[in-house]
Amino acid sequence: MCNISELRFLCSSFCKQYQSEAKFYVDEAHSSGMRHLIVIYENGGHDGAKEFAVGIPWEWTDRDVIDFILWDLPNTQYPVWEVSTRAYGSAMLDKSDRGMSDGFVKNNWRR
């Protein structure tokens, strides 16, 4: 598990898929050299895991990441921040080619 004191807190939200509070952090010093979103689940996430990590695209701002986190995908097995990894095997947050294009996202995000 990550040392939370070395991470930057971003936001928190209830994750309906796992019925758990989720706290979101940014790891600016990830060993890959790329910023990572670190999610800590109070009651466990996928298969009971307490933590999930995924890369953040270079061009995304903190606001982009928060908007993405808060975007509610109805009737999905995974929370939106896990879809690219769990469903498509990607190590990065991604909204580009899976029915989540910029136009779709901007028109359907709840703010």
Q: Where are the domains of the chain?
A: 4-108
Helix (H) or strand (E) holding 86: helix 80-86
Please give the pLDDT value at position 74: 77
Residues 5/25, Cβ–Cβ less than 8 Å: no
Averaged pLDDT score across all residues of the chain: 86
Q: How far is Cα 108 from Cα 20, in angstroms, rounded to an integer?
A: 24
Q: How far is CA 87 from the centre of its chain?
A: 14
Please give the pLDDT value at position 109: 37
Q: How far is Cα 3 from Cα 79, in angstroms, rounded to an integer?
A: 23
Q: Which two tokens stand for residue 20?
A: 């758990």
Low-confidence ranges of the chain (pLDDT < 50): 97-99, 101-111
10-45 b/e (C-beta count within 10 Å ≥ 16 → b): beebebeebebebbbbbbeebeeeebbbbbbbeeeb
